[in-house]
Amino acid sequence: MQLKQLEIFVQVARQRSFSKAAEALYLTQPTVSAHVAALEDELGTQLVVRSTKELRLTAAGRVLGRYAAEILGLCQRAAQDVRTAASSISGTLSIAASTVPSQYLLPQVLPLLRQRYPEVFFQIRQGDSGQVTQWMAENGAELGLVGAPVQRVGLLCVPFFTERLVIATPNTPEYRALKGQMTPDVLKRAPFLVREPGSGTRKQSEQYLKSMGVEPRSLTLAAQLESTESILQGVKNGLGISILSSCAAREAAEEGKILVFAPESPQLERQFYLLYRRSSPLSPAASMLVEELLYFYRDGV
């Protein structure tokens, strides 16, 4: 087995699609298919099951996926450690991040990086996905982290983490009586808390509501707030219900301060993306952060 084959297989496993894996790796779909077929021939077993609707891993494919992700992760860390031994990484790293990456994803990674690279100063600028894109276009940050795909001339947009949105409600008898099953009727009549129009979470929420036959413009809006934490506090205190990040809702739900409803819907799955400029090579500090984010969140949280 070659590292390139493992890299391609891991991407196929993550994307559940040959075409999406090819796009992420800047390869053609036949090339991706050929590498996976070569792995299957070498190992003497089927690794993926292809159908017209979806691609899924076999039991053997899932085993290989785990080992391949670990092998690639070790290679990335080995390369980084070698570079670190050869030269010190220091200086200011400016990062523009939307709410969830800024408040919930970066805080999990940055303490580890500060231990390894104490001479790096992380400068975080928080805004919604639209603002982050604008800042990146204006050279206001070296790296961007957003919750919606970006198509902007000069910017490269790379997925690095998948999560689910959930419906959060106050922990009251009215919502406990639903026994974990949210209905369109409840969504239509409940007071709703929403993010500002440029928010990736809001865009994703509106797509889900439409898929449920709920017109976003017909909602009973209680408030528009400009951060996930503000919405979370509003839900805790009974101001209304909202659709928000599962990462943001997890702690409050575990403490019993809110209820979380997690419908099975592809509309509630979303990617987070890394943004950087095509024309500018990443600084050593930025390269280090990109590698750590891809490694830390390769299997989700």
What pLDDT is recorded for position 117? 85
Rounded to whole angstroms, how far apart are CA atoms 101 and 107?
8
Q: What is the pLDDT of residue 299?
A: 56
- What is the rounded CA–CA span in Å between residue 156 and residue 11? 18
Query: Tokens in use for 64?
Result: 């290989």
**Residue type present at position 46:** Q
Q: For residue 88, what pLDDT is reported?
A: 65
pLDDT at res. 106: 92
The residue written with tokens 């409940």 in the block is 190
- Flag whether pLDDT at 300 surpasses 60: no
What is the pLDDT confidence band of residue 296, given thresholds at 50, 70 and 90?
Answer: confident
Domains present along the chain, CATH in parentheses: 3-83 (1.10.10.10), 89-161+270-296 (3.40.190.10), 162-269 (3.40.190.10)
Q: How much is the pLDDT for 132?
A: 92
- pLDDT recorded at residue 90: 79
Q: Which amino acid is at 206?
A: E
3-state secondary structure of 26: coil
Instruction: Look at residue 190 and tell me whether its pLDDT is greater than 90.
Output: yes
Start-to-end CA distance of the chain, whole Å, equals 28
For the stretch 220-237, pLDDT in tens is 999 999 888 999 999 999
Confidence of residue 24 (pLDDT cuts 50, 70, 90): confident
The pLDDT of residue 208 is 94
240's tokens: 């209304």
| pLDDT beyond 90 at 148 | no
Express each pLDDT in 95-138 by its tens digit. Answer: 999 888 998 889 988 998 888 888 899 999 998 888 999 999 88
Q: Where are the alpha helices (DSSP H) in the chain?
A: 3-15, 18-25, 29-43, 59-86, 99-100, 106-116, 129-137, 173-176, 184-189, 200-211, 228-236, 246-254, 284-296
The average confidence (pLDDT) of the chain is 89
What was the pLDDT predicted at 84? 59
Please report how the helices 29-43 and 18-25 are oriented relative to each other, as an axis angle in degrees rounded to 10: 110
Taking the C-alpha atoms of residue 169 and residue 258, their distance in angstroms, rounded to an integer, is 6
At 287, the pLDDT band (50, 70, 90 cuts) reads confident
Q: How confident is the model at residue 58 (pLDDT cuts 50, 70, 90)?
A: very high
239, pLDDT greater than 50: yes
Predicted confidence band at 301 (pLDDT cuts at 50, 70, 90)?
A: very low
Whole-number percent of the chain with pLDDT over 70: 95
In this prediction, residue 280 carries a pLDDT of 81
Over the stretch 171-186, which tens digit does the pLDDT of each residue have?
999 999 999 999 999 9
Q: HEC string of 102-135? A: HHHHHHHHHHHHHHHCCCEEEEEEECCHHHHHHH
- The per-residue pLDDT for 83 is 65
